[in-house]
A = this chain, B = another copy of it.
Amino acid sequence: MGKNREVEVCFSPAIYASYENKDAIVVVTDILRASSAIVTAFMNGVERLIPVGTLEEAKAYKQKGYMVAAERDGIVRDFADFGNSPYNFSKERVHGNEIVYSTTNGTHAIHLASSGHEVLIGAYLNLTALAEYVVVSDRDLLILCAGWKNKFNLEDSLFAGALAQLVLRNHGFTTICDSTKGAMDLYNVAKQDMMTYIDNVAQRHRLKKNGLDDVIEYCHEIDRTKLIPVFRDGAITLINDSL
């Protein structure tokens, strides 16, 4: 048996440098709503997603004829085809297509994570598939929460706790990371009544103000798919498209 594999959680892209681990599988999460939307896009047959950091890049792709999903602070941008809601990534729109994607926090986190061994996109929708993939790999796990404009957010941290806990049940995984322990404790408090808990998080209030909170329950549904999106060479594809 090899050495113990470490599970760590990073609560904000702004402190990623302190957690960076080139040998780890990095799972990026932005539960409300980017990573939930990305997983949904693959459930509906999207071919490739190209995450871009700035609206200028997104606009340039649009002018080249790409389909573009782009929002800031939850609001779809004029030039874009649609915004960040998982409901926007319907089968009719995305099946077989290549889509450029830019969001407030999610795409930045994905690019940041790419110094890791492999970058996976994580959501409740594909929770157990992620855990199983990590367990059969011979790698550390680092979970990067997209947060909100560099702040800690609860919904990403709870998901990190859920994933960490699943992985840590397996022989050979350990953690000495305070944020991992904190995330698991918070998840175990919240899961007793997740929708009531989420009703109080800051992002729920932001989404509600713009009438965008209809997706919250969907974004907390566990194991709707075994698909795992992976970020490689500038684009997101499926790691396991035979499933």
Chain A residues packing against B (C-beta within 8 Å) = 11-12, 14-15, 17-19, 148-154, 157, 176-179, 181-182, 185-186, 189-190, 200-203, 205
- Evaluate contact between B176 and A152: CB separation under 8 angstroms: no
From DSSP, what is the main secondary structure of chain A's interface residues? helix
Closest B residue to A151 by CB, please name it. Answer: B18
Please measure, in the bound complex, the distance between the C-alpha atom of A12 and the C-alpha atom of B182, giving whole angstroms: 14
- Evaluate contact between A151 and B186: CB separation under 8 angstroms: no
Q: List, in ascending order, chain B residues with CB within 8 A of A153's CB.
A: 178
Please measure, in the bound complex, the distance between the C-alpha atom of A152 and the C-alpha atom of B186, giving whole angstroms: 14
Would you give 15 A-B contacts (Cβ < 8 Å), ordered by A?
A11-B11, A11-B152, A15-B152, A18-B149, A18-B151, A154-B178, A154-B181, A157-B178, A176-B205, A178-B202, A178-B203, A181-B201, A185-B190, A186-B186, A189-B189
Q: List, in ascending order, chain B residues with CB within 8 A of A179's CB.
A: 151-152
Q: List, in ascending order, chain B residues with CB within 8 A of A148's CB.
A: 178
Contact of A151 with B15 at beta-carbon distance under 8 Å, contacts A186-B186, A189-B189, A202-B176 already known? yes
Quote the shortest CB–CB distance from A104 to chain B (angstroms): 13
Q: List, in ascending order, chain B residues with CB within 8 A of A203's CB.
A: 178
- Evaluate contact between A15 and B14: CB separation under 8 angstroms: yes
Of A151, A177, A189, which is in contact with the most chain B CB atoms at under 10 Å from its CB? A151
Contact of A186 with B178 at beta-carbon distance under 8 Å, contacts A151-B18, A152-B11 already known? no
Please measure, in the bound complex, the distance between the C-alpha atom of A200 and the C-alpha atom of B185, giving whole angstroms: 13
Please measure, in the bound complex, the distance between the C-alpha atom of A200 and the C-alpha atom of B11, giving whole angstroms: 19
Please measure, in the bound complex, the distance between the C-alpha atom of A202 and the C-alpha atom of B15, giving whole angstroms: 17
Contact of A189 with B178 at beta-carbon distance under 8 Å, contacts A11-B11, A151-B19 already known? no
Please measure, in the bound complex, the distance between the C-alpha atom of A12 and the C-alpha atom of B150, giving whole angstroms: 11
Please measure, in the bound complex, the distance between the C-alpha atom of A12 and the C-alpha atom of B11, giving whole angstroms: 10
Quote the shortest CB–CB distance from A157 to chain B (angstroms): 7
Of A12, A15, A153, A200, which is in contact with the most chain B CB atoms at under 10 Å from its CB? A15
- Evaluate contact between B186 and A182: CB separation under 8 angstroms: yes
Name A186's contact: one of B12, B17, B185, B202 (CB within 8 Å): B185
Please measure, in the bound complex, the distance between the C-alpha atom of A17 and the C-alpha atom of B12, giving whole angstroms: 13
